[in-house]
Chain A
């Protein structure tokens, strides 16, 4: 995952509100994430982490405020590149094989030589030998691998992970941490939501804590990381 077919891209949230009826999921969230940063969002269930990531992925529209992508120099990028999104759900079809899933999404995204791209990604995530197996026969860890492969199809500069380590066994977490390290070193901007400190969170360069839809802590220093990530146990 070290061949960058993308331009370094940051992301800016400006005064984002998101309401569901009368309930505020996000309240005046303003953040600027620089290109190449690896940011972890922490917070209790319902604090707005998933909503913020879905807004960044353009799956959900903010009730107020704007999201914009930034070029490496920090200028607004008008082309709005697609972000890769890995949710807790796999976002792939159980009744298709691993290869069929990747081919489908590659074709939908208009990727040149979809078969070659699918094969390369299956190799990278270690599923080449299971390329013809239906996804419904996969373990949680294998499902997460195919989900990551799908998100990387169009070589996105920004990748969003919503609780990526949930349900993974220790081996799966280690694999994911290694993959994340590769993505970070390739210069991609990574935003992820996590619960607590782990092998995965140790790769983050910035930690942001949300509470009731608002940013209540934001740090790049190692000393405060623990308190932000482990707030629930404090």
Chain B
């Protein structure tokens, strides 16, 4: 119960501070829109081409956005040494991770859902037919990005060359998530969309494994 109430309190803090500062969402939304618009004008793809490389482009944009979004996740806690205050206050440090990864997943999902209509218009790919399934795939993919990214953000925040370290650790580890998310998304953007449960199952397994690892070892990531 304490874990749940601590997580809820911390998630409220994450959302409140973000909606006040708008640091992460603004940067991420602008960044993703720029990529999608830029590629649309550069390649001027046909519908078939869009369906072929659109999902990969989307998830690549999400990956870059995620690395932008995840970098300050723990760095912000260092400004006033608030991480120490959190460690002194929570009964289970996993609550700190849970709240951060929930906030990161929500921010990423928000960005993705905002981007889908722009992608649909610019690349002439209808997304409404499989919209709920797309949101599910995006949620699972975002969760994968967030779980891994939140853990690595905690590690890199305490290291030298932290700006370089996070993408360096994050990109190779996230390759399986990107492949699974891209494949599942591609299957939903064809004229007869179908949910690829095998890839979704893979995403679920990835999320569960990393979440468990975070639960077991997260405390050590926060130590000085």
Contact = CB atoms under 8 A, between A and B. Distances in A.
A107 B5 contact: yes
A48 to B, nearest CB: 14
Interface string A99-125: 010001101111000000000000000
Contacts of A61: 223
Nearest to B12: A104
A94 B16 CA distance: 12
B79 interface: yes
A150 interface: yes
Interface residues of B, number: 26
Contact of A96 (B16, B79, B91): B16
Nearest to B85: A91
Contact of A60 (B6, B86, B224): B224
B88 A57 contact: yes
Given A60-B224, A105-B89, A89 B81 contact: yes
B84 A85 contact: yes
Nearest to A111: B89
Contacts of B85: 91-92, 105, 150
A125 B25 CA distance: 35
Nearest to A95: B17
A94 B79 contact: yes
B104 to A, nearest CB: 17
B91 A82 contact: no
Interface string B159-181: 00000000000000000000000
Contacts, number: 66
Q: How large is the interface on A (under 10, 10 to 19, 20 to 34, 35 or more residues)?
A: 20 to 34
A93 B13 contact: yes
A79 to B, nearest CB: 14
Contacts of A108: 6, 9-10, 86, 89-90, 95
B5 to A, nearest CB: 7
Contacts of B196: none
A96 B17 contact: yes
A93 B10 contact: no
B80 interface: yes
A107 B9 contact: yes
B13 A92 contact: no
A23 to B, nearest CB: 14
B87 interface: yes
Given A105-B89, A110-B91, A91 B84 contact: yes
Nearest to B96: A108
A96 B79 CA distance: 14
Contact of B88 (A59, A96, A104): A59
Interface in B63-107: 79-82, 84-91, 95
Interface string B12-31: 11001100110000000000
B216 interface: no
A59 B85 CA distance: 9
A90 interface: yes
B2 interface: yes
Interface in A50-99: 54, 57-61, 82, 85, 87, 89-96
Contact of B16 (A82, A92, A100, A105): A100
Contact of A93 (B2, B82, B84, B87): B82
A85 B90 CA distance: 14
Nearest to A156: B88
Contact of B21 (A95, A105, A107): A95
A90 B80 contact: yes
Given A85-B88, A93-B80, A95-B16, 4 more contacts: A82-B88, A90-B81, A108-B9, A108-B89
Q: In the A-B complex, list the 3 residue pairs whose CB atoms are closest, starting with the nearest.
A: A89-B81, A91-B85, A108-B89
24 contacts: A57-B88, A61-B223, A85-B84, A85-B88, A89-B79, A89-B81, A90-B80, A90-B81, A91-B80, A91-B84, A92-B82, A92-B85, A95-B16, A95-B17, A95-B20, A96-B13, A104-B12, A105-B85, A105-B89, A108-B10, A108-B95, A110-B2, A110-B5, A110-B91
